């Protein structure tokens, strides 16, 4: 586990910590199935990943599959998005959280997130 967050992770953490977003609890650098998620919201089973300029997309795909198989939704944002447009990133996270809350309140609802994509919600 990294002790020091990247600049983009620090920016996003400042917006998520202390239940600032919709009163939801987020954890930073949370271990799930042997992988370290940048941010995790346990009540919604939601992982948020911030992708820096150097990362392995194949590794990202494999870890996302592990998360999804555990019933966890994954949102991915680039570090550049976080650093240049934090308000849009936070708004996208808030929309996803509201959608997850609504869908989980209705037990027979299919997942609101249906496929992998570069940005935003991922679930297979």
At residue 41, the pLDDT reads: 97
CATH code, domain with 32: 3.40.960.10
* Pairwise CA distance, residues 79 & 53, whole Å: 7
What is the phi-psi region of residue 68: left when phi exceeds 0, alpha when psi lies from -120 to 50, beta otherwise?
alpha
In a domain, 1, yes or no: no
Tell me the three-class secondary structure of 24-58, residue by residue.
CCCEEEEEECCEEEEEEECCCCEEEEEECCCCCHH
SS3 category, 10? helix
pLDDT in the model for residue 56: 75
Assess if residue 2 is contained within a domain.
no
- pLDDT reported for residue 57: 82
Residue 33's nearest CA partner among 65, 75, 61 is 65
List the chain residues with pLDDT less than 70: 1-2, 107-124
- Does residue 79 form part of some domain? yes
* Domain boundaries, position 12: 7-122
Count of H-run helices and E-run strands, the chain:
4, 5
For residue 24, being part of any structural domain is answered with yes
Whether 49 maps to a domain, the answer reads: yes
- Number of structural domains (the chain) is 1
* Tokens 């941010």, located at residue: 39
Asked if 81 contacts 52 with a C-beta cutoff of 8 angstroms, the reply is no
78 inside domain = yes
Instruction: Evaluate the CA torsion angle 63, 65, 68, 74 in order and state its sign.
Output: positive
Q: What is the pLDDT of residue 74?
A: 96
Answer yes or no: is 36 within a domain.
Answer: yes
Residue 82 domain-assigned?
yes
């Amino acid at each position: 586990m990294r002790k020091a967050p990247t600049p983009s992770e620090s920016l996003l953490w400042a917006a998520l910590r202390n239940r600032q977003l919709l009163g939801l609890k987020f954890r930073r650098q949370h271990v799930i199935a042997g992988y370290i998620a940048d941010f995790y919201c346990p009540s919604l089973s939601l992982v948020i990943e911030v992708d820096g300029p150097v990362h392995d997309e194949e590794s990202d795909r494999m870890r996302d599959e592990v998360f999804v198989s555990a019933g966890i939704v994954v949102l991915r944002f680039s570090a550049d998005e976080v650093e240049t447009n934090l308000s849009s990133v936070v708004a996208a996270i808030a929309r996803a959280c509201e959608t997850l809350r609504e869908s989980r309140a209705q037990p027979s609802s299919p997942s609101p997130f249906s496929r992998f994509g570069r940005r935003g919600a991922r679930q297979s």
